[in-house]
Amino acid sequence: MRRFEDAAVVLDEATGDTHRMSLLAANLLDTLRVEPLEPSQLAARLVEPDFDTDQCFALLQELSVLGLVTSPDDDTSASPAISC
Amino acid sequence: MTTPRLPPPFPADCLLELGPFRVHVQADLPEVRTGLGLLYDRCCLVTGDFADYHVRLASPRGRRWVRPQAQFYFDGHTPFKPLPREQAYAMLEWGLNWTVAAHAHRYLMLHAAVLERHGFALVMPAPPGSGKSTLTAALSYHGWRLFSDEIALIDRRDGTLHPMPRPVSLKNASIEVIRDFLPGCTLGPIARDTAKGTVCHLKPHADSYLRMKQTAPPRWIAFPRWVEGAAATLTPVPRAQAFMRLAEQGFNYSLLGASGFETLADMTASCEIYDFQYGDLSEALSLFERHFTP
Q: Tell whether B273 and B129 lie within a shared domain.
A: yes
DSSP annotation of B12: S
Task: Give the whole-angstrom CA distance, residue B279 versus residue B230.
Answer: 5
A12: pLDDT strictly greater than 50: yes
Q: Tell whether B42 and B138 lie within a shared domain.
A: no
Question: To the nearest whole angstrom, how far is the Cα of A30 from the nearest Cα of chain B?
Answer: 18
Q: Tell whether B160 and B257 lie within a shared domain.
A: yes
Q: Tell whether B48 and B150 lie within a shared domain.
A: no
Q: Tell whether B149 and B220 lie within a shared domain.
A: yes
The residue type at B255 = L
Give the other-Cβ count within 10 Å of A47's Cβ. Answer: 13
Give the other-Cβ count within 10 Å of A57's Cβ. Answer: 15
Q: Tell whether B290 and B231 lie within a shared domain.
A: yes
DSSP class per residue in A10-29: EEETTTTEEEEE-HHHHHHH
pLDDT for the residue B286: 97
Q: Check A4 against B239: CB less than 8 A apart.
A: yes
pLDDT for the residue B17: 98
A74: pLDDT strictly greater than 60: no
pLDDT for the residue B7: 93
Give the range among A52-56, B78-82, B104-108, B150-154 with minimum mean pLDDT: A52-56
pLDDT for the residue B64: 66
Q: Check A6 against B258: CB less than 8 A apart.
A: no
Query: Is B183 within the bounds of a domain?
Result: no
Boundary (domain end) residue, out of B54, B79, B103: B103
Question: To the nearest whole angstrom, how far is the Cα of A15 from the nearest Cα of chain B?
Answer: 9
Q: Tell whether B91 and B122 lie within a shared domain.
A: no
Q: Per-residue pLDDT averaged across B123-146, rounded? A: 96
Q: Tell whether B11 and B82 lie within a shared domain.
A: yes
Q: Which residue from B257, B258, B265 is facing A9, i.e. has the nearest CB? A: B265
Q: Does B254 touch chain A (CB under 8 A)?
A: yes
Question: To the nearest whole angstrom, how far is the Cα of A5 from the nearest Cα of chain B?
Answer: 7
A29: pLDDT strictly greater than 60: yes
Give the range among A8-17, A58-67, B46-55, B131-140 with minimum mean pLDDT: A58-67
Q: Check B254 against A5: CB less than 8 A apart.
A: no
Boundary (domain end) residue, out of B103, B119, B135: B103
Query: Is B60 within the bounds of a domain?
Result: yes
Q: Tell whether B55 and B138 lie within a shared domain.
A: no
Percent of chain A surpassing pLDDT 70: 70
Given a contact cutoff of 8 angstroms between Cβ atoms, the answer to whether A48 and A59 are in contact is no
What average pLDDT is seen over chain B? 95
CB within 8 Å of chain A, chain B residues 222-251: 238-241, 243-244, 247
Q: Tell whether B87 and B134 lie within a shared domain.
A: no
Query: Is B41 within the bounds of a domain?
Result: yes
- Residues of chain B with Cβ-Cβ distance to A2 below 8 Å are 243, 261-262, 265, 268-269
Task: Domain of residue B35: give its range.
Answer: 1-103
Q: Per-residue pLDDT averaged across B261-287, rounded? A: 98
* Helix, strand and coil percent figures for chain A, each rounded to 5: 45, 15, 45
Query: Is B55 within the bounds of a domain?
Result: yes
Boundary (domain end) residue, out of B88, B103, B118: B103
Q: Check A7 against B258: CB less than 8 A apart.
A: no
Number of Cα atoms under 13 Å in the Cβ half of residue B154? 32
- Closest to A64 (Cα-Cα) out of B238, A51, A49, A32: A32
Q: Check B244 against A5: CB less than 8 A apart.
A: no
Domain ranges of chain A: 24-74
Q: Tell whether B62 and B128 lie within a shared domain.
A: no
Q: Tell whether B44 and B154 lie within a shared domain.
A: no
A31: pLDDT strictly greater than 90: no
pTM of the model: 0.91
Query: Is B194 within the bounds of a domain?
Result: no
pLDDT tens profile B19-76: 999 999 999 999 999 999 999 999 999 999 999 999 999 998 776 667 889 999 999 9
Q: Where are the beta strands (DSSP E) in B33-97?
A: 45-46, 53-58, 69-74, 83-84
pLDDT for the residue A50: 65
In chain B, the number of structural domains is 2
pLDDT for the residue A51: 67
Task: Give the whole-angstrom CA distance, residue B32 versus residue B99.
Answer: 17
